Structure 1
């Protein structure tokens, strides 16, 4: 019964416990009951720290200092922790989808948990822990906005917010390499590789739902982005990664035109 188990993992507040719970969930013989579930605790489960603030309150630091590099790694770890919660939320919240939908998002949750662990462990080598810096809640805020519409969730979380990571990863990797952080750069390579697959999953199920509902994917995306006030996407875009993640040429042309 994968959906109740995903919900149980989602409400866990300790990162290490959440990571272990996700790793323990089997991807074999997934049974996704169609019943509506009710969470028995606040979602998503998160630790008391980091403090969540408005993005404008986050201090800009240079990666040429240990503290600045740690702040960058911390920000990435926070994104990955949120991504675990987003994948788990997709599994428990949305009903009556094919079993492969739930299997796909559980695989995403496991890979996001792996990314979080890599970044959290690397942060410790710099003398810091997850929670030592403030963070913002943008990813989960969009999840809240789209909690009643799976099509909007797929359009605006994996295909918009997470796809921004495809564009940003090469620059972040280069920043880390410029200060000799080869381990951090190698982690970014792993994350980019896996995130291409995650965005591809978002594309797959977005298009599947559009087909089921008789909707044009490009026109529908534009309408959803406006309705839910999605952030405006600005280049440069990692077109190679976006193509690998399943964006077609018409979508990329529309993206660049904006």
Structure 2
């Protein structure tokens, strides 16, 4: 199978089963095709993007003691993972001129996103909620439509959205443990380990593709599209060790910390970032 065929299957299929079907072990890239950009991925009827502010919000941590709220959390995270998968397929189609090594690496990460989607989908079902039975948002996808280059993608998805997951996965692991849900907590630990590798991939390619005169931080900030900003790559906690594992320098990590610490609404106490 060609990489382009795999990407189009993920992006354009109206079957969730097809979107989540693993690619063959070996993908060729002889025909990357012309650039293809679309406004929305094709999805089954029950997973069409909802109108703004109509999808349910993530439950508060204290509410996760309730089984139905934990099911909702997994439903929302399944959609986040599915959007990330679709964005990666979009990038492969939109930037067929990307380096071959980058394109192969993206396919490996897409396999993780497929697995994460299935894990959250299956856990939600065990907890009593079928994936697609509630409205889902399109936030991650909509932000990807502003990507004009691979560097925009690297700054936006791996280094910001997935970077934030370096904190969120640990937070939700603890929330689920507090609720007595060992299986959901174990799921989050698996995702956490994968996210370290995904962010490392993004950082590696940022360094490969950025102009030599720009630092990692300068390249990262210059390729963010407002309202996406560095502060959004940090959760309510700040996992320095995970960021070191990705290969971030201490300077880059400190800049992220400072960005999050200074990005506070008026009259709000600073986040717990340590």
**TM exceeding 0.5:** yes
CA contact (8 A) 1:32 1:99 kept: no
Partner in structure 2 of residue 217 of structure 1: 216
Superimposed CA distance per residue, residues 192-224 of structure 1 (whole angstroms, 9 cap, x where no aligned partner): 11111111111111111114x653321222233
Q: Does 1:24 align with 2:23?
A: yes
Superimposed CA distance per residue, residues 70-127 of structure 1 (whole angstroms, 9 cap, x where no aligned partner): 1111111111111211222222221323221111100011111111111111111111
Q: 1:245 and 1:55, CA in 2 relative to 1: closer, same or farther beyond 3 A?
A: farther
Q: Does 1:251 align with 2:249?
A: no
The Cα shift of 1:32 comes to 4.6
Q: For the aligned residues, what is the CA RMSD?
A: 2.2
Q: Distance in 1 between matches of 2:157 and 2:177?
A: 29
Give secondary structure in 2 for the equivalent of 1:44. Answer: coil
CA contact (8 A) 1:158 1:199 kept: yes
Superimposed CA distance per residue, residues 10-47 of structure 1 (whole angstroms, 9 cap, x where no aligned partner): 11122222111xx133335x3253541447x8641222
Q: Distance in 2 between matches of 1:46 and 1:108?
A: 21
Q: 1:32 and 1:254, CA in 2 relative to 1: closer, same or farther beyond 3 A?
A: farther
Q: Distance in 1 between matches of 2:41 and 2:30?
A: 20
Q: 1:118 and 1:34, CA in 2 relative to 1: closer, same or farther beyond 3 A?
A: closer
The Cα shift of 1:149 comes to 1.5
Greater share of helix residues, 1 or 2?
Answer: 1
Q: Distance in 1 between matches of 2:185 and 2:257?
A: 28
Q: Does 1:121 align with 2:134?
A: no
Count of matched residue positions in the alignment of Structure 1 and Structure 2: 251
Q: Distance in 2 between matches of 1:222 and 1:38?
A: 26
Q: Which moved more, 1:107-116 or 1:213-222?
A: 213-222
Q: 1:250 and 1:59, CA in 2 relative to 1: closer, same or farther beyond 3 A?
A: closer
CA contact (8 A) 2:77 2:120 kept: yes
Partner in structure 1 of residue 10 of structure 2: 9
The Cα shift of 1:59 comes to 4.2
TM-score (norm 2): 0.83
Q: Which ranges in structure 1 are unaligned for 5 or more consecutive residues?
A: none
Q: Which ranges in structure 2 are unaligned for 5 or more consecutive residues?
A: 260-274
Q: 1:94 and 1:32, CA in 2 relative to 1: closer, same or farther beyond 3 A?
A: farther
Aligned ranges for residues 122-201 of structure 1 at < 5 Å? 122-146=123-147, 148-201=148-201
Partner in structure 2 of residue 33 of structure 1: 31
Q: 1:96 and 1:205, CA in 2 relative to 1: closer, same or farther beyond 3 A?
A: same
Moved over 4 A (4+): none
Give secondary structure in 2 for the equivalent of 1:63. Answer: helix
The Cα shift of 1:171 comes to 1.0
CA contact (8 A) 2:87 2:141 kept: yes
